[in-house]
Amino acid sequence: MSQVQNLTILGATGTIGENTLRVVALHPQRFNVVALTAGSQLEKLVTQCLRHTPRYAVVLDEASAVRLRSLLAQAGSSTTVLFGVEALEHVSSMPEVDVVMAAIVGAAGLRPAMAAARAGKRVLLANKETLVMAGRLFMQAVAEGGAELLPIDSEHNAIFQALPRDFRGDLAACGVRRILLTASGGPFRTTPLSDLPHVTPDQACAHPNWVMGRKISVDSATMMNKGLEVIEARWLFNALPEQIEVLIHPQSVIHSMVDYLDGSVIAQLGNPDMRTPIAYALGFPERIEAGVSALDLIGRGLTFEAPDYARFPCLKLAFAALEQGGMLPAVLNAANEVAVALYLAGAIGYGQIAPSIEHALDHALAGEPGALDDVIEADAQARRDTAAYLGPRAA
């Protein structure tokens, strides 16, 4: 692909957004940044706008837009500032955009990712919540819009790389027996179980191998992140739950594997650096420089363990939500977002995260969502229920 590609980065100020801009900066002839969006961190967005001169910058609300306009005007920038969900949908679907990096965190990423899919863009999907909440609807939008979907989550990017290039959603036809989804086990893999109720948010966010946003870091500690990724894999690769196996691999060198009928297992390895899957998806089908150092395997031991559900009850809850299907994965995700936000704010303990999600799943309505609004309603309901459940228990 020699033509310059026009890029929208949703969630530009986050870890994925920043890493995307680092890769893009290595290839000025290949990529042209058209829009950058952010929830907060306006100063960072200003710096990015000055460096990458996008046509649009999008923020959450009018007050932030007014502030950003004044900051950009002072700096002599000609970037146009927009705000709100419609503006996010607009910069994800406008005709001059070729590629959309969907890297907003949480349920807020759903609508703009959907807009990009419907508009037939090349969608680089980091926002796993989109597939967890509305997997069937999103995959339909991708098919109907003629979009090209490339996974950014390192495990799914690894699986994508280990599958045949012509994979079209039929694992059996490709001779695949299982998908082996690797997990680091996070910072509490060997912490005594009796200490877990007292672990602090800073301890939970101190991931041994990856530098990530705080929400996904807590999810890695509870292994809810892996649970969300199991659901993500179900939709991306049209896999049955029993075709997906989670394997703890503490070194995070193997990013996931595909097990074939003939006994071959194909893995993707690399340093734990998100610029690798980002560059893979940006350059696809070509390989491009990511700025990541070569993997040095000398003296590295690679080990594997089975996950322990007593230590990681969130992983079990995610498998249960996937098995039951319908709206339950969206409920799982919403309850988890509420619980993790309260935990990060110091209002509840680590040990309250899993029970509050279980409570939400027990009280959720079943049924397939017919449209995106059904998912958004289930999400809102689960948020209210979880907040009400945790309210009296919060410190």
Of 167, 210, 284, 319, the one binding ligand NAD (CB under 6 A) is 210
Nearest-angstrom CA–CA distance, 10 and 124: 10
| Residue 260 interacts with which of Mg ion, ligand NAD, none, CB < 5 to 8 Å by class | none
User: What is the H or E stretch that residue 52 is in?
Assistant: helix 42-52
Nearest-angstrom CA–CA distance, 238 and 227: 16
Nearest-angstrom CA–CA distance, 113 and 141: 10
Under 8 Å between Cβ of 334 and 383:
yes
SS3 of 258, please? strand
Of 89, 98, 153, 232, the one binding Mg ion (CB under 5 A) is 153
Amino acid (1-letter code) at residue 382: A
Q: Which two tokens stand for residue 280?
A: 């893979």
| 40 binding ligand NAD? (CB under 6 A) | yes
Nearest CB to ligand NAD, comparing residues 59 and 176: 59
Of 108, 247, 292, 341, the one binding ligand NAD (CB under 6 A) is 108
Nearest CB to Mg ion, comparing residues 112 and 186: 186
The mark string for 123-152 relative to ligand NAD (x by CB under 6 A, - otherwise) is ---xxxx-----------------------
Site stretch for ligand NAD (CB under 6 A), options 121-129, 174-182, 255-263, 366-374? 121-129
| 14 binding ligand NAD? (CB under 6 A) | yes
Of 60, 247, 320, 394, the one binding ligand NAD (CB under 6 A) is 60
- Least distance in angstroms from the C-beta of 353 to ligand NAD: 16
Of 6, 17, 160, 258, the one binding ligand NAD (CB under 6 A) is 17
Give residue 155's Cα distance to chain centre. Answer: 11
Please classify residue 213 by burial: count the beta carbons closer than 10 Å to its beta carbon, then call 0-12 exposed, 13-18 middle and 19+ buried.
middle
Residue among 364, 333, 331, 336 nearest 352 (CA): 336
How, if at all, do strands 176-183 and 265-269 pair? unpaired
| Residue 283 interacts with which of ligand NAD, Mg ion, none, CB < 5 to 8 Å by class | none
Under 8 Å between Cβ of 267 and 261:
no
Residues at the contact surface with ligand NAD, assessed by CB under 6 A: 11-17, 38-41, 60, 103-105, 108-109, 126-129, 153, 210, 212-213, 216, 274
Residues at the contact surface with Mg ion, assessed by CB under 5 A: 153-155
